[in-house]
Amino acid sequence: MTTPIQPVFSEVNLDAIGEHEGRVAVVLSEPGKLHPAARRVNKLTRGALLRFAESEAFEKMKDGDTHELAFPTGMNAEAVQVVRLAPRADLTLARKAGGAIGKAMAGKDVLVLAGPLKHADELALGVVLRAYAFTDHKSDKNAKDKVGGNLELMVSRVDQYDGAADRIAALSEGVFFTRDLVNEPANVLTTTEFADRLADLKTLGVKVKILDEAELETLGMRALLAVGQGSESPSKVVVMEWMGGEKDIAPLALVGKGVVFDTGGISLKPGAGMEDMTMDMGGAGTVAGVMKTLATRKAKANVVGLVGLVENMPDGRAQRPGDIVTSMKGDTIEVINTDAEGRLVLCDVMWYAQQEYKPAGMIDLATLTGAIIIGLGNENTGAFSNDDTLCDGLLDAAKSEGEGAWRMPMGPGYDQLIKSHKADMKNVGGRAAGSITAAQFLGRFVKEGQPWIHLDIAGTAQVDKDGPLAPKGATGWGVLTLNRLVQDMFEA
C-alpha cells in the first residue's frame, strides 16, 4: 500500500536554506517582491532569483504556475522551483501549485519557503497528493526510489498550522487507499482480498461486517448475486460503520459499486480497452477511502459505507440476456444486457442500506455508464438526485474541494425507456440518455422521502493522462468532496 509523505511545518531558518540538498521551492506573489526566506535564496544564488522574479517570464506566470532554476550556484540544492501564488490564493490554486512541486519531487527531499502564504497547508496537501505513485508491482528499484522523500514547509507563523499535518494525513491516506484499490489488477484484488482490506479498517475503529453469499441469498439480494454467479470469486457485501456522532442522529449512507472486473458477462465487451475494467470497483474504492479518512481523523459524524463486491464473468453459470431476476425490494428485472450489471448490484445494496439504517441521506457511487463520459468527459462526475438540499450540499462540497461535479436531469418521461413487458423493468433503456435511464433505474429503489444522490464517476475515477493532483490512473475522486460534505452535514 502507498504511504503518503508526512509534511512538517517549521519556522523560517535562514541558515538551513543553503544547506538543503534536495529541492527548494520558493513561493513568490508578484514581480520583484521577495520575502525574507526568498531574499536568502537570492543572496546565495548571487541575484539569480531576483533576476527571474523581475523577468518577463515571471510576469507571464499565473497563480499556481511554477518555473525551475536548475543547479543553482551557491546552494547545495539540485534545483530551485519558483512558485507564483498570491498570499490569499484560494484552496484550489494552492493545491495546484503544490501538485507541481509534488510532480517534480521524484523521491527527493523538498523544502518549501512559503513566505506569507495563507494556505500553506493546502499547498502541502497538493504536494502529497501529486507525489503518489503506484509501484506495488514494479520490480525496478529505481522506480520505487522515486517515491517518497521528506517535505518541510518554512512558514511565517508555525502556530497557525497546529494539526495541519494530521489533517493532511487523514485526507491523503483516504485518497491513497482509494487509488491503490482502483489501480490494483483484478487477479490481486479479488472480492475476497477487497473484503479483507476493508476488514483492516477495524484497527481504526470502524465496525466492519462482511455478508457472504448465503447471507445475501437469505436477504433476497438476487439481483446482486446474479451478476457474480459466473465467477469463481464469491460475491460479498461489506458494511462499514463509523458512528462518531451523537447516538440519535441518523447516518449518511454511502453505497459503492464494487465490480472487481467487468468482462460484460455474456454480453461480452470488445477486447480493446477491456484491461481498464479493473477500475469498475471505483465506487466501492471511493467509499472505502472516505471511511478511512473519517476514521483516521475521528470525525464527529455518523456514516455507514456499504459496498457490493462481485466479478462479472462469462461462464456456464453466468446470467443470460433475457433472464429475469428478483431484487431484495421484490421488484423483478428483465436483464437485456449483462454488461449493465452495476445497477443490479447497487439496487440491492441501496435497499439494504435503507432497511437497516434509515439514513438521513443516501449517496451511491459507481463507474456506471460510458454515456456519462460522452456527456461530461473526464472533468465532471454526473450527479443525479431527488433532493435539492442534499444535492446542492454535494455540489458545494465538490466546488470547495476543486473536484468537478455537474447535476444531470431526471424525470418520469425517461422511465418509459426502461419499461418491460415481461417484468417490472428492464436493466437498460437503449442508447438514448444512457446515464439518465441508469439513474432512473436506481431511483426505483429509493424509498419515498429518502434524500438520495447517484454519482456516476465513470469519467473521473480513472484518467489516461497526468492531472494536477494525480498521475495517470486512479484519481481518488470523491474522497475530498464526501469528507467535506460530512463535515458540513454533521460537524459544522
Q: Point out the residues that are catalytic.
A: 269, 343
Check residue 21 and report its DSSP letter: -
The β-bridge relationship of strands 66-70 and 79-84 is antiparallel
- Cell 543553503 belongs to 18
Q: 83: which strand partners?
A: 27, 66
The β-bridge relationship of strands 473-474 and 462-463 is antiparallel
| End-to-end Cα distance, the chain | 32
Per-residue CA distances from 50 to 60, 65, 69, 77 (Å): 15, 17, 12, 17
Interacting residues of 380 by C-beta distance below 8 A, sequence separation 6+: 404, 405, 406, 459, 460
Q: Which helix (H) or strand (E) holds 76?
A: none
Under 8 Å between Cβ of 369 and 435: yes
CA distance 408 to 415: 15
Q: Which helix (H) or strand (E) holds 386?
A: none
74 CB-contact burial (10 Å; exposed 0-12 / middle 13-18 / buried 19+): middle
CA distance 461 to 459: 6
E-state strands within 135-200: 151-155
Under 8 Å between Cβ of 226 and 324: no
CA distance 395 to 372: 17
The DSSP code sequence of 418-471 is G--SSSSEES---STTHHHHHHHHHHTTS-TT--EEEEE-TTTSEESS--SSS-
- Cell 514547509 belongs to 153
Under 8 Å between Cβ of 322 and 271: no
Q: Which amino acid is at 422?
A: K
Give the residue from 184, 161, 165 showing the smallest Cα distance to 173.
165
Residue 299, classed as helix, strand or coil, is coil
Taking the CA atoms of the chain, what radius of gyration do you get in angstroms?
Answer: 24
DSSP H helix total and E strand total for the chain? 17, 19
Grid coordinates standing for 2?
502507498
